[in-house]
Structure 1
Amino acid sequence: MTVRMRAMLLVIILMLSLSAIFLFAGNYFNEKYLDYSFRRFDSQLARSFGLSVSETERKYFNAAHALLQRDKVLSAFLAGDREKLFLELVPLYREMTREDPFFHVMHFIDKNGVTVLRMHRPDFHGDNLTDVRPLVRLMNRTRERLSGFEPGRHGIYYRVMIPIFSGGEYEGMLDLGLNADFVIEAVSKHFQFKSALFLNKSYAGVINNREEMIGAGNYYITGTDDPVFLTLGTDFTPGREMLLKKIDGAYYSFHTAYELREYDDAPFAYLVVVQNIDAEVQDYRNARFYLVLVVFAFLILAAAILHYSFRVMLREIEEGKKTLSAQQRTDTLTGLPNRNALLSDLEWASGSVMILINIDRFKEVNEVFGIGAGDQVLKEYSVCLREYISSFESINPEITGEHTLYRLGRDEFVILLNTKTELAEKIADYISNRTDSEIIDYQGIEISISVSIGISGNREKPLQSSDIALKISRERKRAYMHFDESMELSQHQSNNFFWLNKVKQAIKEDRIVPYFQGIMDNRTGEIRKYECLIRMLEADGSVVSPGMFLPIIKKTKLYPQLTKIMLRKSVEHFNGGGKEFSINISTEDILNKDIVHYIQNLLKETCTARNVIFEILETDNIGNYEEIREFISEVKSLGCKVAIDDFGTGYSNFTHLMNLDFDYLKIDGSLIQNIHRDEYTNRLVKSIAGFAGGMKIETVAEFVSSQEIFDAVNELGIDYSQGFFIAKPRPDTKPDDFT
Structure 2
Amino acid sequence: MKSNLSYKKLFVFLTIIFGIILTATTYITFNYIKKSDIHKISNDNLKKSISYKKSFMSDYFKPYKNSINAISSNKTLEKYLNNPKKEYQDFVKELFSSYLVTFENINQIELLNKNNKNTIQISKNSKIKNVLSSKNKKELITKFEQFSKNNLYVSTIDFNSTNLITIDFVKQITKNYFIVINVDLKHFFNTLKESRLYDLFLINKKGKYLFYKNLNLNLNTINNSTLYNDFSKREAKKILNNNLSQGKDFISTFTNINNQNYILILKMKYKNQNLSIRDSQNFIFIVIFLSFIILIPLAIYFANLPDKVLKEYEKKLITHNITGLKNSIYLEKKLEKTKNFANSIIILVYINNCKKLQSVYGYTALNKILKEAGRLISSYKENDPNFDDIYSFENNIFAIKYKYSDENQLIKFTQLLFNDLENIEILIDKNSSVYLDLTLGISNPQNLNSKNKLHEAQMALDYAIEKRIDILVYDPNIKSKDINSLNLKILKSIKTAIDKDNVILHYQAIYNNRTQKIEKFETLMRIKNSKNEILYPNSFMDIAKDSKKYNKLTYAMIEKSFKYFQDKDYEFSINLSFLDIVEKGFTKYLEYKINEYGVAKKLVIEIVESESISNYKEIKRFISTMKELGCKIAIDDFGSGYANFQHIISLSQYIDYIKFDGSLIRNIHKDRKSQLLVGVIKFLCDSLGIRTIAEFVEDEETLKFVDSMGINYSQGYHISKPVSNIENIPQ
TM-score, length-scaled by structure 1: 0.40
Larger RCO, structure (CA 8 Å, separation 6 or more): 2
TM-score, length-scaled by structure 2: 0.41
Q: Which has the larger radius of gyration?
A: 1
